[in-house]
Chains A and B, each alone.
Chain A
Amino acid sequence: DTQLTQSPSSLSASVGDTVTITCRASQGVDNYLAWYQQKPGRVPRLLIYAASALQSGVPSRFSGRGFGTEFTLTISGLQPEDVATYYCQKYKRAPLTFGGGTKVEI
């Protein structure tokens, strides 16, 4: 099975900073990679699908890149409301594994 490794596991940044989270797959998943945001006590929310496509309603400061085994989620201009844990998920085939998560703090 394909494993997803996120790094870092946590980070602290300032408002306005650019933050980048990495997700590495143990085997290639083409662009079948999604990113989710989960704020404390809330339900996960889809941010990015197909590695780089922005879900409707998601602010443009969020962007995704990558193909195959290495992917990134970038927040350009971190806002207080971006405090959350971010997860990647691969969906090329079952099992549809999640990464371990990256906790973003300000």
Chain B
Amino acid sequence: QVQLVESGGGVVQPGRSLRLSCTVSGFTFSNYAIHWVRQAPGKGLEWVAVIWYDGTNKFYADSVLGRFTISRDNSNNTLYLQMDSLRVEDTAVYYCARAGGWSGYDFGDHWGQGTLLIVSS
């Protein structure tokens, strides 16, 4: 069955960097766009970024533009989120979600369990 597993979360100081990973199975990774979505404690869902099936197009929320970079390795079925210049307000559970198809302009039909990032001094 379709599975997405996030990893790499933890506690990091403001201004530092961290890379999240999302490893998938149960479907042909290279055929699908993938999203990152986050949820701050007790808050709603916030879309973060998306990457097209082949990595050619990437889009970001204004709140992370210039600090976060989404990428993928289709040979290893893995999605990444490189997060630089982290801020306290980046504290959240980060989910990866498979898009409905190859385009990033699509809903998320399968979601991982999430990984928690805490940015604190």
A binding-site residues for B, Cβ under 8 Å: 1, 32, 34, 36, 38, 43-46, 49, 55, 85, 87, 89, 91-101
Contacts and interface: CB of A to CB of B under 8 A. Distances in A.
12 contacts: A1-B62, A32-B105, A49-B109, A55-B109, A85-B44, A89-B47, A92-B105, A94-B50, A94-B105, A95-B59, A95-B60, A98-B47
A43 B95 contact: yes
For this complex, into which size category does the number of interface residues on chain B fall?
20 to 34
Contacts of B59: 94-96
Contact of B95 (A1, A44, A92, A100): A44
A21 B31 CA distance: 33
Chain B at the A interface: mostly helix, strand, loop or mixed?
Answer: strand
Interface of B: 35, 37, 44-47, 50, 59-62, 95, 97, 100, 104-114
A65 B7 CA distance: 37
Nearest to B43: A101
B104 A94 contact: yes
